[in-house]
A and B are shown apart, each in its own frame.
Chain A
């Protein structure tokens, strides 16, 4: 690891940045393409950044947490709050009715469905019983460790949002989810790309990119926490508390929020 890359940058090169980079690579982005990124946690934020590295023309970013939408907007993405708008309708409107060329699913099994706005009712109807099937042994406590309430939601949205002959890149983890709209995907001639990140394949290139200033990974690091408060940090990140996007743990540090 070159000395010019500090720990804040380096820790993000361990997993998050290569994961997002592989998602963008798998999305088969051609210069000028319009991309939709579902999920704007740490990986989703870097999917936005990496889609730009692959010369995406437009990036549409979907989530519901204001601080996460703000961060994506600051990167130049056109943001959609799925609790305010139907994300599929909004994507169709933004793309002349065609849909996006590429979708990146940075959500996975812990997807939460909309609970307000026009998309709430159809999502509830379609995904209501999935949570019990996927996470029968969940033990939520004081608002923590609550499984997502619509495990296959983003798979459905991805197939709906993408244009004919488009590509869906899945980087979200899906555990035992076995529901995917294969019929619609087939009818649209879609390409599906997915998988766990092959970190070592990307890290050397990304280290050089960061060293040369072509990518600033520390922009999504919002919290630094000492090891002694690690359980509190897990709980805050689990609850997706406002402003909590990526948490770095420092063996000897004091708590410090980097949020503006």
Chain B
């Protein structure tokens, strides 16, 4: 699939990246029908917010159709139309249970909450497909893996 990839400050490229795969039981793959550009992306490209790793796929807003789910996803089926929030949370920790998803202990142990931030676990926004957990607990698994 195609994606906009961060290569460094002032350097983003549209390029071919690997298609996403279900690698954790709580993963889901969503075929995006729409994405968007957000000002948050621009901070990293301008160099005013640091910490983004080379190779991170930009974009963190998505709407699409669930294509495939892991066996641990109980609340969705392929074919469901979903919106994907740009912060992720495990749904289990004290912060998530208090509604502070952006401070999730598992997905965002250091605070910054936008899904792509500093990590490569997001595979989305610019392409045909997207592996991003919609089931809240799945994102933790992805985050921990990286």
Q: Which residues in A have some Cβ–Cβ distance to B below 8 Å?
A: 1, 3, 7-8, 10-16, 18, 41-43, 108-110, 134-141, 144-148, 151, 173, 175-176, 195-201, 203, 207, 227-228, 230-231, 233-234, 237-238, 246-251
Contact = CB atoms under 8 A, between A and B. Distances in A.
Nearest to B86: A15
B61 A14 contact: yes
B11 interface: yes
6 contacts: A11-B36, A135-B46, A138-B9, A237-B42, A238-B45, A248-B36
B94 interface: no
Nearest to B2: A227
A234 B43 contact: no
The 10 closest A-B pairs by CB, nearest first: A139-B10, A199-B85, A196-B102, A175-B49, A14-B61, A138-B47, A196-B113, A15-B86, A201-B99, A7-B34
B9 A139 contact: yes
B34 A11 contact: yes
Contacts of B126: 227, 230, 249
Nearest to B108: A196
Nearest to A148: B48
A238 B22 CA distance: 34
A249 B115 CA distance: 18
A203 B88 CA distance: 13
B136 interface: yes
B48 A134 contact: yes
B119 interface: no
Contact of A198 (B2, B38, B39, B87): B87
A141 B10 contact: yes
A197 B87 contact: yes
Nearest to A225: B37
Nearest to A175: B49
Given A109-B43, A227-B126, A234-B45, 19 more contacts: A11-B35, A14-B84, A139-B47, A141-B10, A145-B9, A145-B46, A145-B47, A196-B87, A196-B103, A196-B113, A198-B89, A198-B102, A199-B85, A199-B102, A233-B37, A237-B39, A247-B36, A248-B36, A250-B33
A15 B10 contact: no
A10 B83 contact: yes
Contacts of A135: 46-48
Interface string B1-43: 0101000111111100000000000000000111111111111
A208 to B, nearest CB: 13
B114 interface: yes
Given A10-B63, A139-B9, A250-B34, A41 B39 contact: yes
A203 B62 CA distance: 13
B123 interface: no
